[in-house]
Amino acid sequence: MKNFSEEQRLDQAERLDEVRRKIVEALADPRPALTAEALGKRLRILHRKTVKARRQGT
């Protein structure tokens, strides 16, 4: 196992706390879940925009 510095351990702990906070927030969100179709559409649009932006160098 790697020996991490105290700073690295604190950074990791902060990231884990943020992930936990986001999970709790998502579970408490009263909005209905996305359907697989809606999620797929959002991801395709995001991918298209990301590819376009990378090609344009932005």
**pTM to 2 decimal places:** 0.52
Domain boundaries, given as residue ranges, for the chain: 6-56
12 CB-near residues (< 8 Å, 6+ apart)? 4
Which pLDDT value is given to residue 18? 98
Give me the chain's average pLDDT, please.
93
Distance CA 9, CA 55 (A): 37
Q: What integer is the mean pLDDT of 9-25? A: 97
